Structure formats: structure tokens, C-alpha cells
């Protein structure tokens, strides 16, 4: 069931989204050569504490996972697409890092992700990250009253495919509200004019995931969480929580 949020609820979700945005900004600013993924996780955790917020990631245990998720950020490096578990790995020059983060505050959730390069960037990685951001912007632009879920999916997929990138099948965005993951699913590829109509008060996480090698094939790492590209190519991930309103899309996790 898709819950339509009131305007006051969307305002409250914006407050949660700002906690998410502050954490992602702090993590990105701290991500330098030699810094460990565990150190980045602690930085994000401190933002939650300072805001009086909690993490929907920490101890999250869906049916596919062998163990609960042990951190407040997903930290996916280079060939990791999503769901990377922070560990003692220390960032190296030219690493491509994707950070996914969520918060819960006042009974409402927010979810967002960024990708960036540490140190000296490779031109191919710059293009990959820029395309992920463009795909996200295209999906947000399509998130208007009167469109359908398929219009968002088509907008995201068109940008990704035109640039020659792969899209991991079965993974995409979702509704957000009292919980981080709610209905409806928001695919990263689809047909325009199809799917659930978009209505004022719907709140969606739109999140393109791109595989740099151009294939759609991936596998789960031995930890049961991290998804990696089969061909070893790099990946990028971008995400915002967005409210559908009669005035246009409202980005609740704007940084």
C-alpha cells in the first residue's frame, strides 16, 4: 500500500532529510587517502547522535542477508555497486567511493547516496559519476503529478543506456515514509506511461546504479551484502528522497 503524506508530514521528512544531507557532506569532506571506511562510518554516526536521530541501516536484516547490517553507512568502493560494509580498508588515490546513508527522526525516514573520487580522478570515473548524477536529475524531473512510475524509470534508464553503462537488474528506488523501504518500487529502467500514477504526497527514493563496463551482471560478495560487478568494472550510485507535489518535485535530502 502506498501512503500519501500530508504537507506537514513532508515538512517533517525534510528535517530528516537534512540530517542525511549533513552526514553525507561530512563523510565526503573527510574521505581522503588513508582514511578508513570505519572512520567514515563513525563520522556519519556522530551526525546522527548530534541530531537525536537513529539509523535505519544499523542492524537492518532483510531475508536475503546472512547477518544484520553492522553499520550506519553503506560504503561501496570501486567495483562494489551497493551495500558495501565499512571495514578497516583505507582509501587509496583514485578510489571511486559510493556512500549510501539513511536517518530516522521524529518517526520519519530519509535515504540518499553520493559517489565521488578520492585523490586524482580517472576521466572514465568522472564520466561515470557525472552520468549517475544526470540520471538522478532526469528521474527527479519526471517525478511530477500526472506522470507514472514508468516515466521516472524511463528517464533514469535512458540516461544510463545512452552513456553505455549497465544497470543491475532488480535493484532501484522505493517509497519512503515511516520506514526506509516502502511501496512502491521505483525501477531504474522501464516504459514511459506505465505503472502507478504519481500523486501529491507520494515520497520516493530515486536511485540510479550504474555499472561502468556496460553489462548488467553482478554478484553478491562473500559477506552476503556487497554487490559487485562481474567484470570488475567500477560502479556509481546516486540517490535522493523526493516528494511528489503539485508544485513539482521537492528534494527532501538536498545537500
Task: Report pLDDT digits (tens) over 56-104.
Answer: 999 999 998 999 999 999 999 999 999 999 999 999 999 999 999 999 9
Quote the CA–CA distance of 88 and 35 in Å, as a whole number: 9
Place of cell 559517489: 115
Quote the CA–CA distance of 215 and 168 in Å, as a whole number: 8
pLDDT score, position 77: 98
pLDDT in tens, 111-137: 999 999 999 999 999 999 999 999 999
**Interval 232-252 mean pLDDT:** 98
94 φ/ψ sector (left φ>0, alpha ψ -120 to 50, else beta): left
Which pairing describes strands 227-229 and 235-237: parallel, antiparallel, or unpaired?
A: unpaired
Model confidence at 209, pLDDT cuts 50, 70, 90, reads: very high
151, HSE (Cβ side, Cα atoms, 13 Å): 13
Place of cell 505503472: 195
pLDDT in tens, 28-59: 999 999 999 999 999 999 999 999 999 999 99
Task: Indicate the helix (H) or strand (E) that contains 12.
Answer: helix 7-30
Nine-digit cell at 134? 544526470
**Interval 163-175 mean pLDDT:** 97
**Interval 218-228 mean pLDDT:** 97
- Nearest Cα neighbor of 84 from 139, 95, 192, 130 is 95
Phi, psi dihedral angles at 117 (to 5 degrees):
-115, 135
User: Is the alpha carbon torsion for 88, 225, 40, 51 positive or negative?
Assistant: negative
Quote the CA–CA distance of 83 and 27 in Å, as a whole number: 16
Nine-digit cell at 90? 583505507
pLDDT in tens, 2-27: 999 999 999 999 999 999 999 999 99
pLDDT score, position 65: 92
- Nearest Cα neighbor of 240 from 141, 97, 95, 116 is 141
105, HSE (Cβ side, Cα atoms, 13 Å): 22
Longest dimension (CA), the chain: 48
Place of cell 528535517: 15
Write down the pTM of the prediction. 0.97
Phi, psi dihedral angles at 139 (to 5 degrees):
-65, -40
Amino acid at each position: 500500500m502506498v501512503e500519501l503524506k500530508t504537507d506537514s508530514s513532508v515538512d517533517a521528512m525534510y528535517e530528516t532529510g537534512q540530517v542525511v544531507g549533513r552526514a553525507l557532506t561530512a563523510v565526503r569532506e573527510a574521505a581522503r587517502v588513508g582514511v578508513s571506511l570505519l572512520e567514515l562510518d563513525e563520522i556519519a554516526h556522530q551526525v546522527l547522535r548530534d541530531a537525536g536521530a537513529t539509523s535505519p541501516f544499523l542492524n537492518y536484516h532483510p531475508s536475503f542477508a546472512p547477518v544484520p547490517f553492522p553499520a550506519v553507512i553503506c560504503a561501496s568502493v570501486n567495483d562494489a555497486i551497493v551495500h558495501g560494509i565499512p571495514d578497516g580498508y583505507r582509501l587509496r588515490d583514485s578510489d571511486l567511493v559510493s556512500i549510501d546513508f539513511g536517518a530516522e527522526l521524529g518517526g520519519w525516514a530519509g535515504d540518499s547516496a553520493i559517489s565521488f573520487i578520492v585523490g586524482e580522478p580517472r576521466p572514465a570515473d568522472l564520466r561515470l559519476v557525472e552520468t549517475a548524477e544526470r540520471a538522478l536529475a532526469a528521474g527527479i524531473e519526471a517525478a511530477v503529478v500526472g506522470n507514472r512510475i514508468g516515466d521516472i524509470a524511463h528517464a533514469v534508464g535512458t540516461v544510463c543506456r545512452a552513456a553505455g553503462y549497465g544497470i543491475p537488474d532488480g535493484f532501484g528506488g522505493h517509497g519512503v515514509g515511516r520506514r526506509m523501504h516502502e511501496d512502491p518500487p521505483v525501477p531504474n529502467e522501464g516504459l514511459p506511461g506505465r505503472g502507478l500514477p504519481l500523486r501529491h504526497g507520494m515520497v520516493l527514493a530515486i536511485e540510479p546504479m550504474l555499472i561502468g563496463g556496460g553489462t548488467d551482471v553482478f554478484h553478491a560478495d562473500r559477506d552476503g551484502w556487497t554487490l559487485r560487478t562481474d567484470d570488475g568494472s567500477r560502479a556509481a550510485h546516486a540517490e535522493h528522497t523526493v516528494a511528489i507535489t503539485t508544485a513539482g518535485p521537492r528534494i527532501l535530502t538536498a545537500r
